[in-house]
Amino acid sequence: MKIIVLFMASAAWMMAGDPEGFGQWTSAELKEAAKKLAPKMNESKIATEVLASWGNHNLMLVHREASGQAEWHETQADVFIVQSGEGTLVVGGTVVDPQNVSPHEVRGASIQGGETKRLSPGDIVHIPAKTAHQVMVPQGKHITYEVVKVDTP
């Protein structure tokens, strides 16, 4: 009898599948997705794709071949995971000529008084809400990274 109960419990566990909300992207899947992003770049030389959203956070893939605008998110923290390429992150300071582009979101041309951090494959960066940041890409180079955007209280 114990063997039958153990077998049934094991079978139920094996058939259960992934828990609700679980997501996994292999390195190979992310590299393939990044290749598909490059041809989709806009005039600012950036392409993004939201991979998934879960309540208070989402996961995006970003490919840049030029520097981006300065950003400031009032209610979101960002976590960057660099996949390939190289760049520089300017973090802190203040956004120059800030423009509200959507509720709780400011963009501008540059950052005044920020710190410069080099970005390379494998690097992980956490940027708290209400912190100016800007990704800079050297001419002729690219950077591809995942961004986890987390809503904050």
pLDDT at 2: 53
User: pLDDT tens digits for 103-129?
Assistant: 999 999 999 999 999 999 999 999 999
**How does residue 26 score in pLDDT terms, banded at 50, 70 and 90?**
very high
Q: Which residue reads 């997705």 in tokens?
A: 33
From 1.20.1730.10, 3.40.50.300, 3.40.50.720, 2.60.120.10, which CATH number describes the 25-151 domain? 2.60.120.10
**Euclidean distance between CA atoms 26 and 135, whole angstroms:** 25
User: pLDDT tens digits for 124-143?
Assistant: 999 999 999 999 999 999 99
User: pLDDT tens digits for 36-64?
Assistant: 988 899 999 999 999 999 999 999 999 99
**Euclidean distance between CA atoms 52 and 128, whole angstroms:** 21
**Euclidean distance between CA atoms 92 and 85, whole angstroms:** 23
